[in-house]
DNA sequence: ATGTAAGCGAGACGGTACGTCGTGTCTTGTT
DNA sequence: AACAAGACACGACGTACCGTCTCGCTTACAT
C-alpha cells in the first residue's frame, strides 16, 4: 500500500484498498481483461474514480500490485544441495505458475510495458529483475559449491533461461512443461561450464 | 492487398491503399504509437473510416501489413558454406534490424497479440513462424553438411535462439549487439551437438 | 435544428434531435432543473454525449432551443385598434405565460446568462430582443394612430415594461397578475405621453 | 459572524473568518467567478473545508457575507429636503455602485437565487428587501412633506424603480447612468402623483 | 451504351472509457 | 470543540476513439 501515515489529514482507507484489490480479481475472473477498466474497478470496488487515480496512474499499475499481493508467497528458492536439482525445481515451478492464470496476467503486463515507459520501469523492477536476482542467488550458491565457474556471466545465463520461457509464454507455440524446464536448466549448466559460450 | 478483382463494381482503389500505408509510416514517425488510431490513419490518409474497416479489422493488422511491405526485402538467408558463419550472420542481421525502429514496431505487435487472439494468429504466422522456418532452413543445410546431427530438435533450437532475442527486445535490459548474436549462435551449436540438451 | 444538409457525409439525424428535445421536457418535468445535465439528457434521449456536444455547447443552449420550439406559437401580437387595449392584452398574456412553468425555465436561463457570456448573447437575442421588438411593433402602430408621440423612446419604454416584469419573475415577491399588467401598461402610456419622462 | 461563544471547546477562529473573507476578494479579483469554489476558497484561505461548511452552506452565502461586509458603508439615505433630489441622489448612487464590480457580484447572486431556494430567502432579505425599505423611507419622508400622496403604493413604486435597474443590470443592454437614474426618479414621481397608476 | 454493383470521401451516430473537478462528509492529530 | 489537512464516495464534465451507419459520387464490368 505504500502508506505514508505520518502527516496530518485523514489516513488512507484500508477498506478502499482491499476493495480495489478484490475488484481486480473479481473482474479478471468474471469479465476478462478487456473489461478491466478504471471505470469498472471503481464501480465494482464501490470506490470513487479519484481515489483510484490518487494511488495508481493506470490499470496495469493496479494489476501489478494485485498480482504481487497474492503472489507474495512467491516462488521460494529451492536449496537441495545440487545446482542442477535446484535449477530444475526453480524453473519448473516458474513454468507451472506461468501456465495458469497468473501467466496470462503477466503476459498482458509485459504487453502494457511496451506502450507505457513509466509503467515499464515498475514492471521490470518488480517482475523481471526480482526474478533475475533470485536466479542469480541459485547460481552464486552453485558457484560456491564449485558446480559452475565462479566467473560465470549471470546476466547472460538469466537471458538464456528467461528468454525461452517468456518467448513461449507470449507466443504460446509450445507448453511450459517440465521437459522444457529440465532442458533449459541443463542448457544453462552446459553454457556455464563451456568456456566462452 | 488481397484484391478480389473478379466481380462487378468499382475495383479497390490503389491510391487509398498506398495512402494508408504511407499514413502509418508518417504517423509512427511524427506522432508516436499511441496516436496511431484508426481515426488518425483515416484522416492522415484522406480516406474514409469505412474504407479502413472494409480492408482491415484493426490498427495492428494495418501495421503488420505496412511492416511487411517495407521489409519485404527481408533478412536474406546467408549461405557461406559454414553453419556457424551462416548463423552468426543471420542472427546478427536479425538483431541489427530489431535494434532500429522496426524493433519497436515489432515489439508493439507482439504486445497487441496479447490482447487480440485473432490478430495473434496473423502475427505468429507472418512474423514468428516465417522466421522460425528461415532458421530451420539454415539448420537443415548445416545438418546435410554434417555440422550438426540430423535429428537435432529444430523447434527447441529456434526457442533457444529467438527466446533471448525477444526477451531483450521486449525488456530492453541489454543491447542486441554482435557479441550477443555470436554467443547465441554458439549456444545453438553447443546445444545441437550435445546429446540430450 | 439549423441543419446544413448541403455537404457530403451522413446528414443530421432528426430522430436524435427530436429525442433530445423530448428528453429535456421529460427531465424538467420529472427530475427538476438541477438534474438536467448533459449526461442525463444523453441517457434519457438514448443519444451519445458527443452528439449533444456536436450541436450544443451546454445545457442552457439546449433548453433555449426546447423552449422556443414549443413556444413557437408565441405570444401573438394583439391588434384591437387601441394601443391601451393592445398593451394590456400583450402584457397580460406575457405575465400569464411567465406565471407558469415556462417562467421558471426562463428565469433559470436569465440566471445562466450571468455565468456564461457566450450563452448570454444567444439568450438576449432570442428571448429578450425579440420580445422588445414585439413591443416596439405595438408602439409603432399606436404612434401611427396618434395615441402616443411619434418620437417616444421605445427603448426606454421597453425597460419600463420589462423591468418590473423580470424583477417580479426573478424575485417572486409579488404575482404577475392582470392588475399588475394593467398598471404597467398604463404606466407606459403615462410616460410616453408626458414630455421628458 | 453569528458566533455562538457560549459552550465549551475552542472558540471560533477569527483568523479563519478573516482569511475566508479575504480569499473571496482575492479569488474574485484574480480567478473570476467561475473559480470561486468551496475548494478554492479553502485552499486560498488556508482553511479546512469542514470549517467552511461549518459556517456557510455554500458559496453564495459566503459571497453575500463578503459583499455586505465591505459594503457596510452602504448607500446612505440622502436628505436634501426635496423628494425628487433625494430620489435622484439615491438612485444615481445605486446605479453608480452597480455599474462597478459590486454589480457583477450582485447579478451573480440574483442568478444563484434562481437555483437555490434557501439561498434565495437570505438574498432577498439582505439585498432586496433592505433596499426596498430604504426607498420606502425616502417616500415616507416625501409623503410627510406632501410631495406625494400619503396613500401612494410603496410596493408598486419600488417595483417601478428597481425593476428597470435590475433589468439593465442583468441584461446589460444599456448603461446604468445618471440620465437613466433621473428618468426613473421622475417616473416614480409621475406615477405616485397620477391617480390610479 | 448503359445499368448495376461495389468502392469511395465525408461525417454523423450510439457507445465506452478516459482523466479531472467540485461537492459535501469523514477521520485523523493538534491546539 | 474548533481547527488544518486531506482522504473518501459521488457524479458530471468535456474529449478521444471505437465501429457502424447513411449520404452522394465515382468507377468499370456485364449486359
Share of chain C above pLDDT 90, in %: 83
pLDDT of residue D3: 42
Dist CA B149 CA B143 (whole Å) = 6
List of residues 6+ apart from A57 with CB closer than 8 A: A118, A119
Dist CA B89 CA B135 (whole Å) = 12
pLDDT of residue B3: 47
pLDDT of residue A111: 95
Length of chain C: 197
CB atoms D167 and C166 under 8 Å? yes
Length of chain D: 197
Mean pLDDT of D88-116: 94
Q: Which residue is nearest to nucleotide E27 (CA to C1')?
A: A10
CB atoms C166 and D165 under 8 Å? no
Return the closest-CA partner of residue D100 out of D44, D177, D30, D31.
Answer: D177
The pLDDT tens digits for D122-155 are 999 999 999 999 999 999 999 999 999 999 999 9
Say whether D21 sits in a helix, a strand or coil. helix
Share of chain A above pLDDT 90, in %: 83
Instruction: Kindly indicate the confidence band of residue C7, based on its pLDDT and cuts at 50, 70 and 90.
Output: confident
* Cell of residue B65, nine digits: 501489413
Computed over every residue of chain D, the mean pLDDT equals 91
Instruction: Kindly indicate the confidence band of residue A61, based on its pLDDT and cuts at 50, 70 and 90.
Output: very high
The pLDDT tens digits for A20-57 are 999 999 999 898 888 999 999 999 999 999 999 999 99
Mean pLDDT of D20-27: 93
Mean pLDDT of C31-57: 94
Dist CA C134 CA C130 (whole Å) = 6
pLDDT of residue A197: 75
CB C1 within 8 A of CB C12: yes
The pLDDT tens digits for D37-51 are 999 999 999 999 999
> Strand F nucleotides below 7 A of a protein CB?
1-24, 26-30
Among D113, D133, D158, D163, the residue to mutate for chain C (most C Cβ within 10 A):
D163
The pLDDT tens digits for C73-93 are 567 899 999 999 999 999 999
B10 contact to strand F (CB, 7 A limit): yes
Quickly list DSSP for D55-98. H-SSHHHHHHHHHHHHT-S--PPP--S-HHHHHHHHHHHHHHHH
Q: Which residue among D160, D162, D174 sits closest to C155, beta carbon to beta carbon?
A: D174
Instruction: Kindly indicate the confidence band of residue C1, based on its pLDDT and cuts at 50, 70 and 90.
Output: low
Mean pLDDT of C9-28: 93
CB environment C85-120: b (16+ within 10 A), e (fewer): ebbbbbbbebbbbbeeeebbbbbbbbbbbbebeebb
Return the closest-CA partner of residue C94 out of C134, C58, C153.
Answer: C134
Interface check for D164 against chain C (CB to CB < 8 A): the answer is yes
C-alpha torsion angle, residues C151, C155, C160, C165 (rounded to 10): 140
pLDDT at D4 over 50: no
Mean pLDDT of D101-109: 92
Distance from CA of C101 to the nearest CA of D (A): 13
The pLDDT tens digits for B45-101 are 999 999 999 999 999 999 999 999 876 556 789 999 999 999 999 999 999 999 998
Residues of C in contact with D128 (CB under 8 A): 171, 173
List of residues 6+ apart from D117 with CB closer than 8 A: none
Q: Which residue is nearest to nucleotide F4 (CA to C1')?
A: D48
Nearest CA in chain A to B194: A190
B14 contact to strand F (CB, 7 A limit): no
C47 contact to strand E (CB, 7 A limit): yes
pLDDT tens, per residue, chain B with 197 residues:
554 455 677 787 899 999 999 999 999 988 888 889 999 999 999 999 999 999 999 999 999 999 998 765 567 899 999 999 999 999 999 999 999 989 999 999 999 999 999 899 999 999 999 999 999 999 999 999 999 999 999 999 999 999 999 999 999 999 999 999 999 999 999 999 998 77
The pLDDT tens digits for A142-176 are 999 999 999 999 999 999 999 999 999 999 999 99
- HSE-up of A83 (CA within 13 Å, CB side)? 23
* Cell of residue B21, nine digits: 500505408
pLDDT of residue C72: 58
Say whether C146 sits in a helix, a strand or coil. coil
Instruction: Kindly indicate the confidence band of residue A1, based on its pLDDT and cuts at 50, 70 and 90.
Output: low
Q: Which residue among A114, A164, A174 sits closest to B170, beta carbon to beta carbon?
A: A114
Computed over every residue of chain C, the mean pLDDT equals 93
Share of chain D above pLDDT 70, in %: 92
B12 contact to strand E (CB, 7 A limit): yes
Q: What is the pTM of this model?
A: 0.87
Amino acid at each position: 500500500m505504500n502508506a505514508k501515515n505520518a502527516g496530518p489529514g485523514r489516513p488512507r482507507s484500508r477498506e478502499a484498498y482491499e476493495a480495489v484489490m478484490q475488484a481486480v480479481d473479481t473482474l479478471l475472473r468474471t469479465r476478462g481483461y478487456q473489461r478491466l477498466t478504471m471505470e469498472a474497478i471503481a464501480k465494482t470496488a464501490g470506490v470513487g474514480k479519484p481515489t483510484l487515480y490518487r494511488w495508481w496512474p493506470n490499470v496495469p499499475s493496479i494489476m501489478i500490485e494485485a498480482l504481487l499481493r497474492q503472489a507474495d508467497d512467491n516462488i521460494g528458492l529451492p536449496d537441495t544441495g545440487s545446482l542442477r536439482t535446484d535449477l530444475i525445481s526453480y524453473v519448473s515451478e516458474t513454468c507451472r505458475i506461468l501456465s495458469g492464470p497468473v501467466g496470462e496476467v503477466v503476459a498482458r503486463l509485459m504487453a502494457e510495458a511496451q506502450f507505457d515507459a513509466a509503467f515499464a520501469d515498475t514492471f521490470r523492477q518488480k517482475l523481471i529483475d526480482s526474478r533475475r536476482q533470485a536466479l542469480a542467488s541459485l547460481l552464486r550458491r552453485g558457484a560456491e559449491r564449485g558446480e559452475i565457474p565462479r566467473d560465470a556471466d549471470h546476466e547472460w545465463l538469466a537471458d538464456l533461461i528467461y528468454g525461452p520461457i517468456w518467448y513461449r509464454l507470449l507466443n504460446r507455440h509450445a507448453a511450459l512443461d517440465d521437459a522444457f524446464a529440465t532442458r533449459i536448466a541443463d542448457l544453462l549448466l552446459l553454457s556455464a561450464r563451456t568456456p566462452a559460450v
